[in-house]
Amino acid sequence: MEVLNKKVEVKELFKQMDGKTILDHISFDVYEGEFLSVLGPSGCGKTTLLRILIGLDHQNSGEIYLDGREISKMPSSQREMGIVFQNYALFPNMTVLENVEYALKIKKETAKTAREIARKTLVQIGMEDQLNKKPSQLSGGQQQRVAIARTLALNPKVILLDEPISALDVTNREIMKKELKEIQRKFKATMIYITHDQEEAFFLSDRIMVMSEGTIEQIDVPTEIYQHPANQYIQEFVVDHLNQKYASLCKCTGRAYEE
């Protein structure tokens, strides 16, 4: 087995808001090229964690390292991370191409290079026919692809995704799930993926980090979590949930369910 490089190291991250502990001294590592899902119910602190990682919020204590360099106090724009939001956040007055170009120009690319990179990235992500459309003319899934392209084009060291497909309808969610997996392979990106959906996490991830109430309950590969849940919480929130879902599916379709 190849030796895994630590891409991101989080040490003793602690965050309080209005006297309430949101993140309770959590530590974990993310490896190079890994797809790590942060799974937990709403209010468990996963979004706050993401915002702190990229510098949109600030921790009370604890450190974050990227490639061994401490970035805990750096402004967001210098952290070399990209973020994709649930609601796409594309600029409405710019076309698909301009949205991607704009991000590149902000990062001091020349107009010519910006256009080249933007076009290339959009082609790779399957948006070559929509370059001159405004975001309002696109479907949710297409908009999210543009938002991902905008992040990918900047070639960030880590991409953070905050429930990027939960605003899509079921069919498009399934398509985007597969595409995300494809994109990660194609771009060999390190991704941290926030979700509250157990199946999504299991389908996409190399490893899953399950959180509740500001602490990490378990962090491991999906099979390990499923076969050896660390505690009662994991048993109920992950294993029982998946089993019930599968069992009810079998019941409806008449397929045999094997324990």
* Footprint of another protein (CB under 8 A): 51, 54-56, 75-79, 81-83, 85, 87-89, 91-94, 102-103, 106-107, 134, 154
Whose Cβ is closer to another protein: residue 58's or residue 186's?
A: 58
Min dist. Cβ of residue 155 to another protein (A) = 13
Min dist. Cβ of residue 148 to another protein (A) = 13
Q: Which long-range contacts (CB under 8 A, 24 or more apart) does 163-168 make?
A: 163/86, 163/194, 163/195, 163/196, 164/84, 164/85, 164/86, 164/193, 165/200, 166/86, 166/195, 166/196, 166/197, 167/86, 167/87, 167/140, 168/140, 168/141, 168/144
Min dist. Cβ of residue 88 to another protein (A) = 7
Min dist. Cβ of residue 222 to another protein (A) = 29
Alpha-carbon torsion (74, 76, 80, 83), positive or negative: positive
Which phi and psi (to 5°) does residue 53 adopt? -60, -40
Whose Cβ is closer to another protein: residue 10's or residue 100's?
A: 100
Whose Cβ is closer to another protein: residue 91's or residue 257's?
A: 91
Please give the Cα distance from 99 to 119 (Å, whole number): 11
Residues in Cβ contact with 37 at an 8 Å cutoff, skipping those fewer than 6 apart? 193, 194, 195, 200, 201, 204, 205, 207, 208, 209
Alpha-carbon torsion (51, 9, 183, 38), positive or negative: negative
Min dist. Cβ of residue 39 to another protein (A) = 22
Min dist. Cβ of residue 241 to another protein (A) = 29
Whose Cβ is closer to another protein: residue 107's or residue 245's?
A: 107
Of 90, 101, 222, nearest to 164 by C-alpha is: 90
Whose Cβ is closer to another protein: residue 51's or residue 207's?
A: 51
Whose Cβ is closer to another protein: residue 80's or residue 116's?
A: 80
- DSSP, res 2: P
